[in-house]
């Protein structure tokens, strides 16, 4: 029987793929680095530098390539992390914006490596698409005024409190 094709995303880093993967896998449950291939002698980067880093976040496969300064990550692609608690949102937010990361708006941030993330409450879809359109509108308006999302404030807006 043929092995099923695996599809994953590869992020291009100048030279920080291993450092980024190490950080990311430390933050998300069920995550690990699965393989690191390194540049050999005569490569475009110093011998021993990680070339390709394979890792899993929450059981989903990703790759990081140290390809040099030719391309940069953009917010056109982002990782979404659905969080059950405010404590989880706060921890991810604070860690990913530390050391040069940037807060954006509506739960978006860019980490110090240039990767964009959306750190959102797991309850968000029900607040945004609930049967009460006025309540969903209030939650949307509250979200649009936030940088880091606040679950209690979003739920209060939905309730009209």
Q: 6-38 pLDDT, tens per residue? A: 889 999 999 999 999 999 999 999 999 999 999
d(CA 99, CA 140): 30
Residue 102: both structure tokens together: 């940037």
pTM of model > 0.75:
yes
Domains and their CATH numbers in the chain: 7-71 (3.30.720.100), 73-161 (3.10.180.10)
Residue in the block written with tokens 């099923």? 4
Residue 52 buriedness (CB in 10 A; 0-12 / 13-18 / 19+) = middle
Average pLDDT, rounded, for the chain: 96
Query: Please, which residues bridge with residue 61 across strands?
Result: 56
Rounded CA separation 54/24 (Å): 12
Contact (Cβ atoms closer than 8 angstroms) between residue 83 and residue 89:
yes
Mean pLDDT to the nearest integer, 48-74: 96
- Judge whether residue 5 has pLDDT over 70: no
**Beta carbons of 36 and 136 less than 8 angstroms apart:** no
């Amino acid at each position: 029987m043929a092995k099923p094709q695996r599809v994953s995303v590869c992020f291009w880093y100048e030279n920080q793929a291993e450092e980024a993967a190490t950080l990311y896998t430390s933050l998300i449950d069920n995550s690990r680095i699965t393989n690191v291939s390194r540049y050999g002698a005569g490569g475009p980067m110093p011998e021993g530098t990680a070339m390709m880093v394979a890792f899993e976040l929450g059981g989903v496969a990703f790759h990081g390539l140290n390809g040099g300064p030719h391309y940069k990550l953009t917010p056109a692609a982002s990782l979404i992390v659905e969080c059950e608690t405010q404590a989880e949102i706060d921890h991810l937010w604070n860690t990913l914006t530390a050391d040069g990361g940037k807060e954006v708006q509506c739960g978006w941030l860019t980490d110090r490596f240039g990767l964009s993330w959306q750190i959102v409450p797991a309850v968000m879809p029900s607040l945004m698409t609930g049967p009460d359109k006025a309540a969903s509108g209030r939650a949307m308006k509250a979200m649009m005024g936030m940088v880091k999302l606040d679950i209690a404030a979003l739920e209060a807006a939905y309730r009209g409190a």
